[in-house]
Chains A and B, each alone.
Chain A
């Protein structure tokens, strides 16, 4: 079976006049499967944002190729297909929102795609329901909280009915409540609607929800694996400016202290359950 997204020997430089053109991406090979949730981790300046901008043809490879559903992103005639298949959500919701009423904002994308008015209405309602913002459809966008704005930005992408959503640090400007709302929305889009998710984040707790984590360093993918495996390699993560979630650190240090715990926890509830079970076994 063909992969949904194929990145083949991708090299990229921002080619600024005269500057010795440094490769920001340095030979990336990556396949993204339909319906998967992929998280991308890496130090500041490692090339994460540059990489995902290649997935919806916002940037084109200097060398190598990127294929979406078999279409080469360099194929100018297919830009529409690519952009309607793969949508991008950025960090700061304030820079993305253009309309003053919520439902107009969500309708903006499909209108630009030339979707018929009647089906725009349906798509907007459906998208707002998916991100749990339907009751706010008549509200003004500026009166929303950060988390709500970000969910509206996601709804705007969903209304274009993409197969994949790219999110570049969608929660880093939000408070804990807003972060949870947005993460829950992302997880639900993936689990319940099969939308492929590519999430860039600096929060290890968020990456723990992914099917796979890719780690980028200086424009190369140095590792790609399941969270449970990646987070068990503390020294490796350290080398690439990363860390482990608090719950993983706790279990890890307890094991080093001689407690015979076998499992690795990825979230708070798992962690508490593992410890309770162990303590009860001591009776």
Chain B
């Protein structure tokens, strides 16, 4: 059974006013339990609008969002539970920090879920480890943190709720390179080892290509493709026509292929490229 099923989803902002704008058009797709999904599309293509439907922050103008076999809008009383099951890290999550200590901020979600105190504490520490946040910072005010630290705290607050589906909108902006790699690796383990569903929205095609099982490509509110990284990034012309570029290593290989047609351009990582180029040299 699909974890999430989207049926004929259309969303119109400010419906019925002169400013009405269709942000999503008739989207149909399924996301499996235990899947890592990437979402790509240029600014304004509908990525965030789509994501907000998955945890009931927006109600479809038309169509359905089905979670574990049930339309999430069938029982309005259950919406709260949908938000516990489907955790969302927003684009500028640090704007939502408001407690007096980092600890309380991270504990906010699990407290709301009514967990016992020792359980909450466990979740807070687990979330800090997940995000590579120094325990020393737990008793500081969130307003006395560096930019990257604030963002880590905001993400830890969602991780601490241990959601079944975790959606993250450009989560690594402002992370140093190692923290970024670590977060992506932890997300990989979250879905691989713990049977969760992870949905990552990002402009960074290298990360999307490396970690996703399948990629949702949106353009102007339409679903253009839903396929494996290899297949998606081999459609260069289509991607370019909707304002997207392949990962940098893929475009390097494509540039080389123009002069050396024997080379493969279906390459998504540096290691694959090293292997392909070394073999190419051997065979010359």
Contacts and interface: CB of A to CB of B under 8 A. Distances in A.
A176 B208 CA distance: 14
Interface residues of A, number: 42
A175 B203 contact: yes
Interface residues of B, number: 41
Interface in B188-210: 203, 206
B149 A246 contact: no
Interface string A47-91: 001000000000000000000000000000000000000000001
Given A91-B174, A268-B248, A44 B144 contact: no
Interface of A: 14, 16, 42-45, 49, 91-92, 145-146, 168-169, 172-173, 175-178, 202, 204, 238, 241-243, 246-247, 249-250, 253-254, 257-259, 268, 271-272, 275-276, 279, 282-283
B95 to A, nearest CB: 9
Given A44-B152, A202-B176, A276-B256, A250 B203 contact: no
B284 A279 contact: yes
B251 interface: yes
Contacts, number: 109
A202 B206 contact: no
A51 B108 CA distance: 33
Nearest to B173: A172
B270 A250 contact: yes
B176 A241 contact: yes
A259 B252 contact: no
Which 8 pairs show the lowest CB-CB distances between chains A and B?
A44-B148, A243-B177, A241-B178, A43-B176, A45-B146, A253-B274, A272-B255, A282-B284
A91 B271 CA distance: 33
B42 interface: yes
A271 B176 contact: no
B278 interface: yes
B252 A14 contact: no
15 contacts: A45-B148, A49-B147, A168-B147, A173-B173, A175-B42, A238-B178, A243-B181, A250-B274, A254-B277, A259-B278, A268-B248, A272-B252, A276-B260, A279-B256, A279-B260
A257 B173 contact: no
Given A45-B149, A49-B146, A241-B176, A282 B92 contact: no
